[in-house]
Structure 1
Amino acid sequence: MTIIAKETYKKTNVNIPGKWEQLSYAGEKRVPTKEEPYASSWPTYFFSRDEQGRFLDPDGNIVAFEIRSPDQGIDFEGKQLSIVKETLDNLTDFQKKVATYWGTGPATKQFTPIIDILITTYNISAPRAARILAAIQGALNDAFVIAWHFKFRWQIPRPNQLDQTLKTFLCTPRHPSYPAGHATIAGCAETVLSYFFEADKERLNELAKQCAISRLYGGVHYPIDLREGLRLGRQIGRIVVEQLKNQYDINLSQIDYPILVSKHPKLPPPPYKQVIPDFGSMKCTSLTIDDD
């Protein structure tokens, strides 16, 4: 059993009045409940940990994750928050559609049909389909674990915590803001899928960026959360891909081969309609635009 070392909180920005767990959401009287606060300690598939809880690559080296520390001049309460407010003040119908599509269900939900369509379009064999699914889902598990590690380490407040009058378009999730989980997942999914389906990497890049920016449209993340989340997710994806590249069958042949000629699969969106129906919706108790 791996023991994860507890990390002491270091105030990361002099402009921030408190940690995420210390501030209520706009319109609420209590501090937010924590969604899976211990997810950063869950088992990983492509990474390991040392006795101090640091993430290791397959060679046992400590991974220096490519994410900017909040104390490196990130002005959350000033510049970053002002961009969120300006975005919400000028939200278009298309941006609302994008925010709703990617924000319905967990961050992995919209990538599930993308994976299935790619497997079907290229007539991937059953064993290879299982390998692709296992690789991507394992990578996404690790991306969530690592994202949660940084979220609860830094405890950066959400936009509607720094501005108690802020009305968001989407419900604000119950975990810290930085980095964005959707962006981290999107960057990881893009990278691993592009390894298997290289011919469609440009389209996968477009989808990853749209998934990330949707969180700004929803008013639940700062732009830096998205940029750094994508960067972190892509690094996680590259580490996973390097492991996959070094796996061979009994004939010492590399198991995977990239799809190099595109069949132009129709990867959603559009249309901005849930491929997998949503059977429930999150009830907001914080302030939202719908409250007007």
Structure 2
Amino acid sequence: MKERIGTIALLVLLLASCAPKEEAIIISPEDYHSSVDKVTEVMIHDIFSPPVASRIFAYPNVAAYQILAQKHDDYKSLAGQARDLTEIPAPANPEVINYELAALIAHIDMSKKLIFSEDRIETYRDSLYAIWSDKNETVFNASKAYALEVSDHIGAWMDGDNYKQTRTMPKFTVNSENPSRWQPTPPAYMSGIEPHWSKIRPFVIDSAAQFKPLPPPLFSMEEGTDFFKEVKEVYDISQEITAKGDDSEEVAIAQFWDCNPYVSVTRGHLMFATKKITPGAHWIGIVKIATRKTNSDFAKTVYAYTKTSMAIADAFISCWDEKYRSNLIRPETLINEHIDDSWEPVLQTPPFPEYTSGHSVVSGAAGITLTSIFGDNFAFDDDTEIPYGLPVRSFKSFNAAADEAAISRMYGGIHYRAAVNVGVKQGRDLGQFVVDNLDMN
């Protein structure tokens, strides 16, 4: 009898030793950075315009943040703060869920809803799913189920932002009779992109026109007028900085902050595109730099991405509202017509009206938001553009980086001074509003 009991006990031990062991699933800030980087990579491949890209960044971050706010007392829900956002469902079995894992899965799932090349996200996702499931199937399945429930909730909220409706609205009509109005520019002469972006529901600001800037200087190509002086200034700066050749710091600054997702290149009868990140993606890259430098934990990392991406998204809505209101012609068109018909800007002119400068508005908003998270005089080395062959640039603060991003548009020959100076103020005012009105921690 004792031998039989001993045999049974031995079998039980053998079976137990053969059973799969469930490990803890550890999710780090680097896992979240990787997910954001993957989305950026797909956006570059799909060639999303800067305004659309800002929307793609914001919603997945909100989904991830809302899940973490369920767990962390230090972070407050965005429900009732972000426009029209209601509270996400509470988890049915909170004791089983890994909230960091659920937040990451929600980020991936929301991102897949927003891009074209879904297969690229799915391949990335499935490789992670296999790893997590092997480690702890019970926790993975519970966390995944909750993440997808939250993703559906945020997706339904997202669908009410009027984006789908703007896809069917008429294209921008060029007014060739008015000499002050924007005209398509070489080499591709593309139509004005996203003329109805002001109709997108904002995340935090009250309306697209809440931070409506002063109008640009009155159009006139008569010498001595304020507007003519601005046109001539762009031309003169361009001549001066390009004469320096490879030693031009101004040209280096312009190229560093170019962030044009679609640059047309002509070779004989062929035209092709080089693809890069958008202005918003550059600042999202700076979020990664700041969170890494401060060794931010997972929750603070998601918080920083979320707050900054919402400010960037609202900055694009605000800026595009003014762009298609003032509908101002670009320097390239006027300089070619009135000053030098062979002149080309340092940067390729992007396909939308001039005033205000989008990079200036977005950089102003992002600089203020990041300062509210990490403090003023936060020095950092910006390596965001290394993948595009550009060296690291160092900054004493986020606002100093925003100032350089703004003036880079004049060095690039694509904006007048008013668009830069007024634009960065527009962005900073908007960023301060986001900081003052979002109670996240």
Cα distance in 2 for partners of 1:238, 1:18 equals: 32
SS of structure 1 residue aligned to 2:281: coil
Q: Does 1:96 align with 2:251?
A: yes
Report the equivalent of 1:184: 361
SS of structure 2 residue aligned to 1:221: coil
Cα distance in 1 for partners of 2:305, 2:189 equals: 38
**Is the 2:216–2:419 contact (alpha carbons within 8 Å) kept by the matching residues of 1?**
no
Residue 181 (structure 1) shift: 0.3
How many matched pairs? 221
CA deviation map 1:240-288 (0-9, x unaligned) = 00013x44xxxxxxx1xxxxxxxxxxxxxxxxxxxxxxxxxxxxxxxxx
**Is the 1:183–1:211 contact (alpha carbons within 8 Å) kept by the matching residues of 2?**
yes
Give the TM-score taking structure 2 as reference length: 0.46
Q: Does 1:197 align with 2:391?
A: no
2:251 is matched by which residue type in structure 1?
A: K
- Kindly report which structure 2 residues correspond to 1:142-181, keeping only aligned pairs within 5 A, or say none: 142-164=314-336, 165=341, 166-181=343-358
SS of structure 2 residue aligned to 1:89: helix
Give the TM-score taking structure 1 as reference length: 0.69
**Is the 1:192–1:240 contact (alpha carbons within 8 Å) kept by the matching residues of 2?**
yes
**Is the 1:151–1:176 contact (alpha carbons within 8 Å) kept by the matching residues of 2?**
yes
**Structure 1: tracts of 5 or more residues without a match:** 7-15, 56-62, 248-254, 256-292
Cα distance in 2 for partners of 1:81, 1:32 equals: 22
Cα distance in 2 for partners of 1:39, 1:181 equals: 13
Report the equivalent of 1:278: none
CA deviation map 1:22-58 (0-9, x unaligned) = x353x66x96411122222122111244xxxx65xxx
Cα distance in 1 for partners of 2:420, 2:331 equals: 13
Residue 163 (structure 1) shift: 2.1
SS of structure 2 residue aligned to 1:185: helix
Residue 211 (structure 1) shift: 0.5
CA deviation map 1:116-145 (0-9, x unaligned) = 121111122211211111110011001001
**Is the 2:364–2:428 contact (alpha carbons within 8 Å) kept by the matching residues of 1?**
yes
Cα distance in 2 for partners of 1:45, 1:168 equals: 35
Cα distance in 2 for partners of 1:188, 1:221 equals: 19
Question: Cα–Cα, structure 1 residues 215 and 71, in superposed 2: closer, same or farther, change >3 Å?
Answer: closer
Report the equivalent of 2:412: 218
Report the equivalent of 2:436: 242
Residue 199 (structure 1) shift: 3.9
Deviates more, 1:226-235 or 1:40-49: 40-49
**Is the 2:311–2:365 contact (alpha carbons within 8 Å) kept by the matching residues of 1?**
yes
Q: Does 1:121 align with 2:276?
A: no
Cα distance in 2 for partners of 1:183, 1:152 equals: 16
Deviates more, 1:102-111 or 1:179-188: 102-111
Cα distance in 1 for partners of 2:376, 2:328 equals: 38
Residue 109 (structure 1) shift: 3.0
Cα distance in 1 for partners of 2:376, 2:316 equals: 27
**Is the 1:37–1:148 contact (alpha carbons within 8 Å) kept by the matching residues of 2?**
yes
Q: 1:39 aligns with which of 193, 197, 206?
A: 197
- Higher relative contact order (CA closer than 8 Å, sequence separation 6+): 1
Cα distance in 2 for partners of 1:161, 1:137 equals: 33
Greater Cα radius of gyration, structure 1 or 2:
2
**Is the 2:376–2:398 contact (alpha carbons within 8 Å) kept by the matching residues of 1?**
no
Cα distance in 2 for partners of 1:181, 1:161 equals: 19
Q: Does 1:139 align with 2:311?
A: yes
2:431 is matched by which residue type in structure 1?
A: G
1:153 is matched by which residue type in structure 2?
A: R
Question: Cα–Cα, structure 1 residues 71 and 168, in superposed 2: closer, same or farther, change >3 Å?
Answer: closer
**Is the 2:360–2:405 contact (alpha carbons within 8 Å) kept by the matching residues of 1?**
yes
SS of structure 1 residue aligned to 2:414: coil
Q: 2:228 aligns with which of 67, 78, 83?
A: 78
Cα distance in 2 for partners of 1:39, 1:223 equals: 24
Cα distance in 2 for partners of 1:31, 1:240 equals: 36
> Greater helix share, 1 or 2?
2
Q: Does 1:18 align with 2:195?
A: no
Identity %: 24
2:352 is matched by which residue type in structure 1?
A: H
Residue 2 (structure 1) shift: 7.6
